[in-house]
A and B are shown apart, each in its own frame.
Chain A
Amino acid sequence: MNGIPVVAVVTPYTTATGLMDVLQATILVLVALGATAVVLTRAPTRQVIVLSVYGILLAVLFLAFQAPDVTLSELTVGAVALPILLLLTLAKVKGRQK
């Protein structure tokens, strides 16, 4: 590593540690509740919507744990792309059942 300039990375996200702990604990509990809600929802269409909300919760979790890039991936895939694919599949399956 000799000769490589060292650049210190300063993040603007430094918050009081205690406050951050509370935030992280809260969102962890919310994610656990959200996952349970997804499993307990029985109607498929409704379940997809709950799953989408759960995706948003997960995205907030990743943000609280300082991974903004994973937050973006989770938002796009978990809250948008996956529900779209599932909804389309449900529409197709229901159309065939009639």
Chain B
Amino acid sequence: MTPGQRRWLFLAAMACFGVLLVWGLAGLPGFGNYPGPYGDIINRVAVGQTNATGVVSAINFEYRGFDTVGEEFILFVAAAGVATVLRRLRGEREGPDRDEAAGREQVPTSKAVRTVALVLTGPAVVMGWYLASHAQASPSGGFQGGVVLATAFVLVYLAGQFLSFERISPVDLTDAVEALGAGGFAAVGITAVIMGLPYLQNFLPLGTVPGAVSSSGTIALISFFVGIEVAAAFVLIVGELLDQTLLVHEGSR
């Protein structure tokens, strides 16, 4: 196919796509218009039913909890996949003739980066735990909290060095915590089944004050498990990638 023909094919395809797009846009409901009854019903009943004022968390961990189990395991499998793939590569690379970084100059971390990273590590830990433990009270949740927690570990790497990152997050421990988080979520659901309730039914006391940290039963518990699962998964993925990037770096000294 000559470049000219290719251009015409592209233009024809783009014209068709453009027509479809405009047609679709013309049929959209008006901006901000919400026709469905489901969200309105949830907005009315969610706080009364679950005692969680973070209604998004109530939906994620309660009404649509089964969907979230699936999402949780997507991340779990992704982390396991990264660990598996990169582990094989590392074995290949440890041969003697592949010392890519020999003689490479190591740039020292600037004091500014170190200071900022050190100052931010503590707040990142607090913020992460706050988000993961207040899913029932405010717009937050285990997922966001988990990622923030994981960034605290990355900050330690930025402030110090790879060795301290590995020391505070040994792979075995991270693996175990990740499995505990993912398994804990599933176990909460199965506990409900053992008690004769539907899977993931909220079986814990809901508390008396809506939006209190101790309220909303399994929503808070699931959020906690999601938090540690996500934090461990991200630390694991970042750790594996750092390993890949820096191992030779460390080995050549």
Contacts and interface: CB of A to CB of B under 8 A. Distances in A.
Interface residues of B, number: 35
25 contacts: A6-B48, A7-B47, A9-B43, A9-B47, A69-B56, A69-B57, A69-B140, A69-B141, A72-B140, A73-B144, A73-B147, A76-B144, A76-B148, A81-B151, A84-B238, A85-B237, A88-B241, A88-B244, A88-B245, A89-B241, A92-B241, A95-B100, A95-B101, A96-B100, A98-B100
Interface in A71-96: 72-73, 75-77, 80-81, 84-85, 88-89, 91-92, 95-96
B106 to A, nearest CB: 12
Interface of A: 1, 4-7, 9, 68-69, 72-73, 75-77, 80-81, 84-85, 88-89, 91-92, 95-96, 98
A88 B238 contact: yes
B70 interface: no
B130 to A, nearest CB: 11
CB-based closest 7 A-B pairs = A76-B147, A72-B144, A88-B241, A68-B139, A7-B47, A69-B139, A5-B48
B45 interface: yes
Nearest to B131: A72
A96 B99 CA distance: 10
Interface in B137-156: 139-141, 143-144, 147-148, 150-151, 154
Interface of B: 41, 43-45, 47-49, 53-57, 100-101, 104, 131, 139-141, 143-144, 147-148, 150-151, 154, 210, 234, 237-238, 241-242, 244-245, 248
